[in-house]
Structure 1
Amino acid sequence: MPLPAVNLEWPPPSTKEPRKLYDRWQAWYSGDPEQLARVHADVPGLGGDSDIPRGQPGVGARFVNALLQGRPRAFWGTPVTPGQVRSHKLHVPLAGDIASTSADVLYGEPPTFEVPDAKTTGKATQDRLDDIAEEANLAAVLLESGETGSAYGGSYLRVSWDPVLADCPLWDVIPPDCAVPEWRGGRLHAVTLWRDLESPDGRHWRHLERHEQGRVLHGLYASADEGKLGRRLKLVDHDATAPFALIVDPEDGQTVTTGASGLACEYVPNMRPNRLLRGSALGRSDYAGIEPMLDSLDEAWTSWLRDLRLGKGRLVVPRAYTMSRGRGRGTTFDPEREVFEAVDAIDNGDGPLKMSVVQFAIRVEEHSRTCREITAEAVRGAGYSAQTFGQNDEVAATATEVNARQGRTASTRGKKQLYARGPLARLARATLEIDAAKFGRKPGVNPELRPAVRWQDGVPFDIEATARTLQMIKAAEAASIYRRVQMLNPDWDDKEIRADVERIKAEAGGGPVVPPGSSATGHGPDEPAPDGDPADVEPDDDGPENDDARPPSVGGRASR
């Protein structure tokens, strides 16, 4: 469908409820106290209710008070105390840490894009895709996508091209609060991205970019009403959209063909389902459900620092001890003065006037324990283990113990990978297609191949536990040399495993140690073994062709 040509309400009403959630999650993600106070002043709580009369007689006032007593309380929603010079509320950036950690857990070891038959017929395609990934800095883009998705519940990844900037397609991240998605069967069918432009005449200018299969539509709008889309203008009427006027179809003035069979923009959900928007295909933020814990953590931290302020020793000084600054100019007291002269004072029967010290207790342990417990609950609610955030790490642990402690984090990482795998694979194929269409097809490159997305194991490799397991398997004669090498190196192919088997047998038989890249029979690991070769001696298990599936790794990812 084309871009809107009439003066519609913008953003569309269909995005109203998601944008409310995005505003709240954005406030926690940014950590800006002003945003937190503004957002929570508009939600149920004490915030925004300071203008409602309380304690006044009358049925209406009692009814209002009863309503307020039943409404939940938000620390960031409470107004500043009348007469207070400034707010002493403090914010702990735990929400930002959760988003950053989520990106590290998911994309800290970036996934690889592997085309079919990457070592044979697909080698040229694989090499080109690797070059694009390096030139476009996909590892950094994916980290940004992971952090944005953790905060907002998902993010959009867009493929674009600009021959002036790079000789290959580029990826960038679009936050979901400036997108209008359209779904079909739970998958993104089309999406309209929009951005506000600098206004040259006082009107509200917007650029709309609609992604459909195989094409992108651009539109420029200006309106005197911020809530309306306004009138459709030519792309050359604004400097920000003038470059698109050179590449759009001259007949309709809005369409750019991408050369891809699918979308050049994909939505990567953080986690589903969205518990606050039933039936929605939008993802769920890591903050969903833990906002009260984040609010309580800030309240506990503020109370701790309040104890520090109140804990400063203060002197209650009789007025007779103060020094006059002259008639009508008040009196002062020097707290650093160590010696005071005797003063004449009237004894009221309670003894002479005295200075007294007032100093409140600083409840360090109580506040520290409270903050730790709230943080642990908030992290758990976000789907992560406390160990991931550095808690419970006082005692050194083995890799096996670390894996057990971070089980919740590993489970969450696996779920997010499931949701990200499909969109990333489709976008990688679109990247190859756009690269061939806009930069010319390279020799041997097949853009129609759909790459597969592979993640690293992500679990610390415990070589000691793996060695014990393999030793017990060998003693029980439960697996051949080939199978044990395969279990230790699950990412090796058949030829690499056979070559290592030959080296192990040569060393065990007292023969010369065979260096990597060669074999005991003189042929390399990439060459087929001749008939009767020692690599085929084990008839009970002579290769993966006799198995239905390759067994999983024993101790996680192993390096070659």
Structure 2
Amino acid sequence: MPLPTADTPWPPVDTRVLTSLADWDAWYSAEPERLEQRYEGRGSLEQANRPAQYAGGLRGRLARWFWGQPTPAGEKSSKLHIPLAGDIARTSSGLLFSEPPALISEHQGTQDRLDAMAKSLHPTLLEAGEVCAALGGAYFRVVWDDEVSDRPWIDTVAADRAVPEFRYGRLTAVTFWTVLDSGDTNDRRLFRHLERHEKGRIFHGLYEGSLTALGAARPLADHPDTAPLAAMVDAEGGLDTGAPAHLTASYMPNVRPARAWRHIPSAAYWGQSDFQGIEGLMDALDEAWTSWMRDLQDGRSRIIVGDHLLQSLGPGKGVRWEDRRVYTGLNMLPRAGDPDPITSVQFAIRVKEHADTCAALTEQAARQAGYSASTFGEHGDGQAVTATEIKARERRSLATRARKALYADPALSDILAAQLAVEAGFRFGVTGLDLSVPPKVEFQDSVTEGLGELATTAELLRRAEAASTETLVRMQHPDWDDQQVTAEVAAILGESGRAVSDPTMTGAEGPGTHGSGPVE
């Protein structure tokens, strides 16, 4: 049985990798509480502060990040968080998948099926793109449920919920796991559902353990979430997918190589997160933003008054300055050393200094992650710009997008081929699909030219006689099919007077009656 049969530490991944994944997940979550847990106690709820935070030297200095500084006892945390990490992940996904990629097959029946899959696949790609940028990679898997759909579909799994197996950089098998609800809030038991994908086979297992240990194997029927699988698997806990030549899972790395992990054998082929190396910049950004907001609080106008102007609250109850709109006249005589018994205090708010610091940190973090600052709205004046100007301004972001597309292309092609193979297998028996060639994936341009730019380009190409009318029409309307393009070409040539009859098709009823059409 490929799944574990005895108790083992879980997940079976190098601790350095697990630590990085947990840190990136905390930044991606945009939750200050999780960041405090990660950097004050490394995720441990029992240990609020690490001893290293009070140590000197390099170790203590690194531990005392802004989010690693313990909050003094009795005080409420005033740390603020700018969700730059989530913005980076969302931007990466938008650059890559804001326009759904074209799924192409030369076989008409397969193309019809790909067209039907494209609409439901688009949200999955956007989700996978975010998780991929945040955690360094994402997985696609083929799933099916007869109660939900009569066809299989593609699901996505985050990198911190999978244990992959690579051979020369190619994914050969992967085990996904899901933590299941025990049903008892006071129960410290932890149920995990393991799902292992191999070529032609999927294995399912249920385990009862703890936070760090897989525990003992249990029958699938012991938990309501896995009980339906008990009747589907064989004696080995597996089931045939109907596609023996295909792995029903694929891995989409964010970018490679992962600089921090390339010397770790078990993670050498994992992707690199966009957050890798910029955690300190994001931490400094939160510190600068918190300082800015603290300036606003400290800069509130206050007044200082003499003791004799305060109202007594009674013996042992202190005094206070009563804030009224109208006061009775105070017959106060000036005294030496106390010419003005009421003093107004207004501290300066360092707006420009903080704004410049935050902008510089954001720009540097975006650059290190592979993006142009303008992609995040920096340096924009609000004026309309052309697509050419946008591409020049966001050259770095578009280069990163093109690099990521190189890794996403084979992952999508493989999982689409696997889904088609499962549909054509014995489980679903779909006919009319061509499985000999994997589908092609073409990523669409995230920055498109406007109508005016396209018209100018078409006019220049027409003057230079460098493009036909059909080519120009397709350039203006890339979403049109052949029938729409042909009709538009005929209309343009007819209106311009450039449509002539084919002399070889002239019949008795007059020229152009049979086979006449626009000829350039």
TM, length-normalised to structure 1: 0.80
What do the CA deviations read for 1:282-339 (whole angstroms, capped 9, x no partner)? 1111111221221111111111111110111112222221111221222221133542
CA distance in 2 between partners of 1:289 and 1:435 (Å):
43
CA distance in 1 between partners of 2:311 and 2:115 (Å):
79
Tell me: CA distance 1:8–1:35, structure 2 relative to 1, closer, same or farther (3 Å): same
CA distance in 2 between partners of 1:444 and 1:307 (Å):
68
Counterpart of 1:75 in structure 2: which amino acid?
A: F
Tell me: CA distance 1:66–1:207, structure 2 relative to 1, closer, same or farther (3 Å): closer
3-state SS in 2 of match to 1:408: helix
Kindly report which structure 2 residues correspond to 1:105-120, keeping only aligned pairs within 5 A, or say none. 105-115=95-105, 117=106
CA distance in 1 between partners of 2:67 and 2:440 (Å):
45
Does residue 284 (structure 1) correspond to residue 268 (structure 2)? The answer is no
Correspondence for 2:421: 433
Does residue 8 (structure 1) correspond to residue 44 (structure 2)? The answer is no
3-state SS in 1 of match to 2:281: helix
Does residue 131 (structure 1) correspond to residue 116 (structure 2)? The answer is yes
What is the number of residues matched between the two proteins?
497
Does residue 417 (structure 1) correspond to residue 405 (structure 2)? The answer is yes
3-state SS in 1 of match to 2:67: helix
On the 8 A contact 1:50/1:79 being kept in 2, the answer is no
On the 8 A contact 1:220/1:234 being kept in 2, the answer is yes
What do the CA deviations read for 1:33-65 (whole angstroms, capped 9, x no partner)? 11112222357xxx9466877xxxxxxxxxx53
Gaps in structure 1 of 5+ consecutive residues: 54-63, 515-519, 523-529, 538-560
CA distance in 1 between partners of 2:80 and 2:57 (Å):
30
On the 8 A contact 1:114/1:453 being kept in 2, the answer is yes
CA distance in 2 between partners of 1:342 and 1:493 (Å):
87
Correspondence for 2:190: 204
Correspondence for 2:171: 188
What do the CA deviations read for 1:223-246 (whole angstroms, capped 9, x no partner)? 3x5432222221112212111111
Correspondence for 1:140: 123
Correspondence for 2:45: none
Superposed CA RMSD: 3.2
Counterpart of 1:272 in structure 2: which amino acid?
A: R
Correspondence for 1:405: 393
On the 8 A contact 2:164/2:175 being kept in 1, the answer is yes
Does residue 266 (structure 1) correspond to residue 261 (structure 2)? The answer is no
Does residue 317 (structure 1) correspond to residue 316 (structure 2)? The answer is no
Correspondence for 2:67: 76
Correspondence for 1:302: 290
Correspondence for 1:177: 160
3-state SS in 2 of match to 1:78: coil
What do the CA deviations read for 1:463-506 (whole angstroms, capped 9, x no partner)? 44444444444444556666666766778899987776665554
3-state SS in 2 of match to 1:77: coil
Deviation for aligned residue 1:191: 0.7
Correspondence for 1:388: 375
3-state SS in 1 of match to 2:56: helix
CA distance in 2 between partners of 1:52 and 1:495 (Å):
70
Kindly report which structure 2 residues correspond to 1:155-554, keeping only aligned pairs within 5 A, or say none. 155-199=138-182, 202-223=188-209, 225-249=210-234, 251-252=235-236, 254-260=237-243, 261-278=245-262, 280-336=268-324, 338-339=326-327, 342=330, 349-351=336-338, 354-394=341-381, 395-437=383-425, 440-477=428-465, 505-509=493-497, 511=499, 535=519
CA distance in 2 between partners of 1:51 and 1:374 (Å):
26
Percent identity over the alignment? 42
Deviation for aligned residue 1:392: 2.5
3-state SS in 1 of match to 2:425: helix
Tell me: CA distance 1:320–1:521, structure 2 relative to 1, closer, same or farther (3 Å): farther
3-state SS in 1 of match to 2:178: strand
On the 8 A contact 1:207/1:221 being kept in 2, the answer is yes
CA distance in 2 between partners of 1:131 and 1:497 (Å):
22
On the 8 A contact 2:299/2:349 being kept in 1, the answer is yes
Tell me: CA distance 1:71–1:247, structure 2 relative to 1, closer, same or farther (3 Å): closer
CA distance in 1 between partners of 2:58 and 2:279 (Å):
22
Tell me: CA distance 1:346–1:244, structure 2 relative to 1, closer, same or farther (3 Å): same
On the 8 A contact 1:400/1:462 being kept in 2, the answer is no
Deviation for aligned residue 1:164: 0.7
Correspondence for 1:553: none
CA distance in 2 between partners of 1:507 and 1:466 (Å):
21
Does residue 41 (structure 1) correspond to residue 40 (structure 2)? The answer is yes
On the 8 A contact 2:505/2:516 being kept in 1, the answer is no
CA distance in 2 between partners of 1:66 and 1:125 (Å):
63
